[in-house]
Amino acid sequence: MRIDVITIFPEFFDVLEVSLLGKARGNGLLDVRVHNLRDFTTDRHRTVDDTPYGGGAGMVMKPEPWGLALDAIAQEATSEPTFVFPSPAGERFVQATAREWSGLDHLVFGCGRYEGIDERVFTYAASLGQVRLASLGDYVLNGGEVAAMAMIEAVGRLVPGVVGNPESLVEESHEDGLLEYPSYTKPSEWRGLAVPDVLLSGHHGRVAEWRRDQQVERTRERRPDLLVD
Ligand SMILES: Nc1cc(-c2cccs2)n[nH]1
C-alpha cells in the first residue's frame, strides 16, 4: 500500500520511521511519502492560509497550494487514490473503516490546520479519486496530523504481512463488535491479586466461554451503544 501525507508539519510523521510501520516501510509493505504543503506555494512567504470569505474568526487554508499538491501526487499515482481529509465534520472512523481502507492500493491523507481547508479542495480532489472526510471522534483537534497518524496506524497494521501473527488481529476490540476480554500473564499471583482460575484450568472450552462472557459484560458496561442492532 502506498500512503501519501500532505501537511505543513512533515516532521510530525518522522515517528513512522520507527515501530511496526517503520519495519513495514523497510520491507516494502508500506510506501509512505510525506509532503510539505508549503513546497507547493508560490509566494516568498510560502503562505498557506488566508481570511475567510463571509468573515468570522481564524484562517482558512488556501486552495492553490492544495491543488498543486494533489496534482503532483495524482500525476505519479499508479492507481486511483482515495483522499482522506481528517475532519471533526467527517464520517466516524471505526475499525470497519480501517479494515476497508487496508484493502486499498493508495491512500492520500490531507491534513488541515486552522479553521479548515477551502471547500473547493474537496470538490477538486473528487475529480482525481475517492474523497472521504473522516473523524476520529466528537472532539476538536488543532489539525489533522494527530488524526491522520492514528488512522495510518489503524489501517497500516491491517495490511497483510505488517503484523507478524495475523491471528493477533482477530481477537481485538471492535473486530467482532465487542470489546476485548481481559488479559493476564505470569505471575499467577501479584501483589495479592490472582489470575482467574478458569485461565489456569487448561480447559479451552471453558476459557473461550469465560472470555466471551467477559466481552459481553464489558461491552454492556462501557459501550452499550455497540450492543444495539
Ligand atoms: N476528529 C477530529 C478531527 C479533527 C481535525 C482535523 C483537522 C483539523 S481538526 N478534530 N477532531
Distance 55 CA to ligand 1 centre (A): 21
Total-model pTM: 0.94
Distance 76 CA to ligand 1 centre (A): 28
The whole-angstrom separation of Cα 191 and Cα 168 is: 29
Which residues neighbour 133 within 8 Å (Cβ) at sequence distance 6 or greater? 84, 85, 86, 87, 89, 90, 91, 122
Quick check: CB of 228 below 6 Å from ligand 1? no
Question: What does the DSSP assignment read for 142-185?
Answer: SSHHHHHHHHHHHHHTTSTTSSS-GGGGTSSTTTSSSPPPP---
106: alpha, beta or left? (left if phi > 0; alpha if psi -120 to 50): beta
The whole-angstrom separation of Cα 226 and Cα 197 is: 29
Q: What's the pLDDT tens digit per position in 157-213?
A: 999 999 887 777 776 778 789 999 999 999 999 999 999 999 999 999 999 999 999
**Interface TM-score (ipTM) > 0.95:** yes
Quick check: CB of 143 below 6 Å from ligand 1? yes
Whether residue 187 is preceded by a cis peptide bond, meaning omega within 30 degrees of 0, is yes
User: Could you give the 3-state DSSP secondary structure of residue 28?
Assistant: coil
Question: What does the DSSP assignment read for 37-60?
Answer: GGGG--STT---EEPPTT--SS-E
Which stretches in the chain have pLDDT values below 50? Answer: none
**Strand bridging mode 189-190 / 193-194:** antiparallel
